[in-house]
Amino acid sequence: MGRKVVECVPNFSEGRDLNKIREITGAIEQVDGVELLDVDPGGATNRTVVTFIGSPEAVAEASFQAVKKASEVIDMREHYGAHARMGATDVCPFVPVSGVSMEDCVNIARVVGRRIGEELKIPVYLYEEAAASPERTNLANVRSGEYEGLAEKIKDPHWKPDFGPAEFNPRSGATAVGAREFLIAFNINLNTTDKRYATDIAFDLRLKGRSKRSGNIHPFYFKGDIVRYEEVRFPCGPCDFIATSLTELEKHYQEVHQLDLKEVLSFFEYEYDEAWLKGKPVKIFGMFDHCKAVGWVIEEYNRAQISINFTNYKLTPPHIVVEEARKLAARMGLIVTGCELVGLIPYPALLEAGKYYLQRQGHSTAVPYPDILEMAIQSLGLREVASFEVEKKVLGLPEPTGKLGRMPIDQFTDEVSRDSVAPGGGSIAALAGALGSALASMDAAITALKPEYEEVFQDMIRIGENAQRLKAELIQIVDRDTEAFNDVFSAQRLPASSPQEMETRSKAIEEGYKKATLVPFKTAELCFQALELCHEVARKGNLNSVSDAGVGAVMASAGVFGAGMNVLINFPNLKDRQFVAELKQKLEFLQDQTNALREEILSLVYSNINKLRKK
């Protein structure tokens, strides 16, 4: 179960005055729930790039506070630098890292953008995925004219800000707020110091491709002369079609390739006119979109590298590109010796890489997430030229297990046995469900490895992955259950010296008890899901490990009833009788289902054990 993590990378028009920069980053760090990852000031550009992460709510608040502080300490009338800019906070993009969607980040951008416009009176333009119109998608278009041209630009109705006043703000300029995908900076290492080989492979990998060369065939494209169009021609890059006019070619791109010819020409930086190919290089497309690649040599490592920026790892995963690079390198007699991550990588990207390599080896992907990440790290060679610490390099890791979840078994049982109310029955119920899930995952993994169970291989992978998810959630609840009454305790400490205060206190206590009651009910629901997985592995899984499925079922069903007791014991403290009646009905139904399913599983388990005894 991953956390909801959003990254924000605001760029501020100040790179020389460290005191001002510290004031801005200080405003970010004062917000609970955010982590400041990087502050990169540039003197020549007079610009600082800041990177921080956190929950959606925390990042939204921290970004606003940073923009507010920047508007107080930066005066654009005194700013100059080498980098294009139009405001004190020039850009403020939100990036989905883990547990959030691009749509979520678009919503954050719009909420924060509106707040900047309304509260700070700074004109705001939405860009990238958050753009309200196509022409504002590209940041370069939004920022054209920069700060110096903003006073005139903002008068144009076509460039009315999305939020804030349509008036020039001489002190703060304007701010572009947007949402974009996470950018992964990634290097692929080769066993050569010849830059040409790295460049050649880079050209094959990136969609923009290369200029065609004559007299040679792959893998030595870089040794030929560039082929240029000697006359006006209208060929199609993706196929061998040659049109008789630009209009015909435009129609061909649309109908056959579903591409806009103007966008393709812009991609190759060609002008859209009737003589657009004469004298220009013949282009060959590469393999991957959202993949910007070049070749270079790093003297420190004494090797050539293919340096790649992945602008959308969800559509072009790094591990798939690495595998293609390995094939291309082999054709040249080269070896990919490993990879280097520059900066950070989102948890889902590395997780998918680990699953990919486990699947290629015929192993189950239903293993704890640290094992999957380690498979990815080893398979990609991410420790070849530098250390790779998962906690420092991977964004959006699942929530760390709490104090109880991290305890050794003997210490945990000692803690339970002491004369304190927590950890109590609710935590034990969650732990029982987690153990039931773990046994379901183990049974599924053992089955998946057996050739005679090939028909249910995909079922076992699905069961195992779901069991791992349930295990992680229930381990979290082991600690969460001990915290369930925090709101009740806080409410009981509220003042009650007047009728109004007494009413407020009473309502707070009621809400606290409701929240505390729903925690064990959630535990019961998750334990029942674990019971269902045990049922499935008992029916389809390895006959020789059917007893493990049975033990898992007993543990999971114990979790359902144990958690249910913790629901029932809270009912007398609740005044909302409708809430009590509805939750009691749901719990009774869940327990009836648990009884029936447990008996079915145990009957199946004992029957299969008897079959084994007769063999």
* Catalytic residue check, 240: no
Question: Identity (one letter) of the amino acid at 51?
Answer: T
Of 292, 289, 397, 390, which Cα lies nearest the Cα of 341? 390
Per-residue tokens: 60: 């939204």
Task: For residue 10, give the nearest of 63, 81, 73, 72 by alpha carbon.
Answer: 63
Residue 279 is classified by DSSP as T
Residues paired with 298 in a beta bridge: 303
Distance CA 233, CA 213 (A): 18
C-alpha pair distances (Å), 437 with each of 367, 405, 442, 528: 12, 15, 9, 10
Tokens of 94: 């939100």
- The Cβ-side half-sphere exposure at 401, using a 13 Å CA radius, reads 16
Q: Which of 443, 481, 535, 548 is catalytic?
A: 481
Residue at 260: amino acid letter? D
Q: Which amino acid belongs to residue 2? A: G
Our CA angle for 245, 247, 250, nearest 5°, is 115
Structure letter (DSSP) for residue 479: H
Tokens representing residue 55 in the block: 């929950």
Q: Which residue has the tokens 């006006």?
A: 232
SS3 404: coil
Q: Which residue has the tokens 């899930």?
A: 437
In whole angstroms, give the CA distance from residue 147 to residue 85.
6
Give me the catalytic one of 83, 104, 257, 487.
83
> Which residues have CB under 8 Å from 133's CB, separation 6+?
none
- Report the amino acid identity of residue 239: C
CB-CB contact of 340 with 305 (8 Å) = yes
Report the amino acid identity of residue 23: E
175-179/47-54 β-pairing: unpaired
Residues 6+ apart with CB under 8 A from 328: 201, 204, 205, 219
The backbone torsions φ and ψ at residue 160, rounded to the nearest 5 degrees and listed phi first, read -65, 135
Residue holding tokens 């000692």? 414
The conformation of residue 45, written as its DSSP 8-state character, comes to T
What's the rounded Cα separation, in Å, for the pair 480 and 563? Answer: 13
Q: Say which DSSP state 333 is in.
A: T
Active site residue 260: no
Active site residues: 83, 481
